[in-house]
Amino acid sequence: MSKIKKIKVLFAVNSFAFGGTERATYNLLKHIDRKYFDPEIFSLDSGPALRIFRKLGIPLWVPKGREYPSIGRLAELIKISSPDIIQSNTLSARVLLAGGKAGIPLVSRMGGHNKILLRGIDKQKLKHVLTLVSYLSKVIICPSRFLRTQFSEYGINNTILIRNGIDFTEINKYYLQNKSRTSHAPFLIGMVGAFVPSKRHKDILLAAKKLKEENRCVKVILMGSVYPMKTSRVYAAYIHNAVKKMGLTDTISFLGFRKDVFKIISTLDVVVMPSVDEGASNAIIEAMALGKPVIAANSGGNAEFIRDGKNGFIFEPKNYKELSKKIIALLENHDHATKIGELARKNAEKYFDAQDMTRKYENIYFRLLRNNLKTNL
């Protein structure tokens, strides 16, 4: 019997932080079928996220040198790796152009806040950027309709919708391991999100202040990385100062990036996501998988995951008063909160399993090399 020739896929990843995009890529790599695929990882720099990716035992390389390699040099390095397919998991012109120059079929996986990243450029320039992504990519994978619409608005149709998947083997270790609450226990509100302005941490601070003024017994736990770029550091300092000015130091806790995030979420009563233009929030679907009711801003891809009043709640973006009312509704009716969490869990099981997601990606890789890939599905 002849030996199966594996398909080598080279995954380009960000390394400066392990956010939702990186977690989705990690879950894909963890479940990819090694019988048919030979994955390899590369990153343009040696950031802290690589420590997590290295746990997968997959070959990983970073170009040598203090500065990013030129597009030509990166193309040479890609050719040396000799992949059958490149998958870019970030909106990186350098990776896209180098992949094109190397002549390797490119899969672009969109994630994060692409609309935020491209904010400030006029529509004509935006069209040029997205058209270039489309031209250099055999297929563009979008984890939400919101992200996909950014391309379809300009007549770009080589896109496919594949939802992010989560690893239920990890989730199930903590599912429904809730502490027993008493009437005197604080109602625990959590948020998971990096410190960038689009996450709008201030909305949860203002809601907490209003709840405190109404003598509600609540605690807020904020989890998420501060990125190395100046905008993130300045924003994080602003949020810390806002907590002090609002007199919330005894209410708000900053936990930073946590490897045990699932364990912490399992102790919460509700998870809040006030961010705007969120592409496809892993934090939302992870909280749902843990059986937690989620209250999210009606912005970006959030409303695609939540049916208001059915498996979670939606509030008007930037409206902290409406957010506080939604929190109170759950605080005053624990049975209803539990029911919402159970429905959220069923929804996550049905639509967001990492193994299902991985099989869909694998099918794309197979079809791409057979020149049998239909997009706009």
Residue 192 located in a structural domain: yes
pLDDT, residue 377, reads 47
Single out the residue of 322, 265, 258, 328 nearest to residue 296, CA to CA. 322
pLDDT of residue 37: 97
Question: Whole-angstrom Cα distance, residue 109 to residue 365?
Answer: 13
Are 225 and 268 contained in the same domain? yes
- Pairwise CA distance, residues 249 & 261, whole Å: 22
Examine residue 2 and state whether it is found in any structural domain, yes or no. Answer: no
Determine what percent of the chain falls in helix, strand and coil, rounding each to the nearest 5. Answer: 45, 15, 40
Where residue 232 sits, what CATH number does that domain have? 3.40.50.2000
Same domain, 230 and 136: no
Write out pLDDT tens, residues 315-368. Answer: 999 999 999 999 999 999 989 999 999 999 999 999 999 999 999 999 999 999
Same domain, 254 and 144: no
Task: Tell me how crowded residue 5 is: count the other CB atoms within 10 A of its CB.
Answer: 9
Q: Per the domain annotation, does 377 fall within a domain?
A: no
pTM over 0.75: yes
Q: Tokens standing for 235? A: 């924003």
C-alpha radius of gyration, the chain, whole number: 21
Is residue 290, in this structure, part of any structural domain at all?
yes
What is the pLDDT at residue 5? 87
pLDDT value of position 128:
85
Q: What is the pLDDT of residues 124-152, one digit of tens each?
A: 887 888 898 999 999 999 999 998 988 99
Phi, psi at residue 44, to the nearest 5°? -75, -15
**Does 182 lie in the same domain as 121?**
no
User: Does 137 map to a domain?
Assistant: yes
What is the tally of structural domains in the chain?
A: 2
* 262 belongs to a structural domain: yes
**Residue 102 is part of which domain span?**
7-165+353-369
Q: Is the residue at 374 inside a domain?
A: no
Ranges of the chain whose pLDDT falls below 50? 1, 116, 179-180, 376-377
Q: What angle do CA 127, 275, 49 make, to 5 degrees?
A: 85
Tell whether 330 is covered by a domain: yes
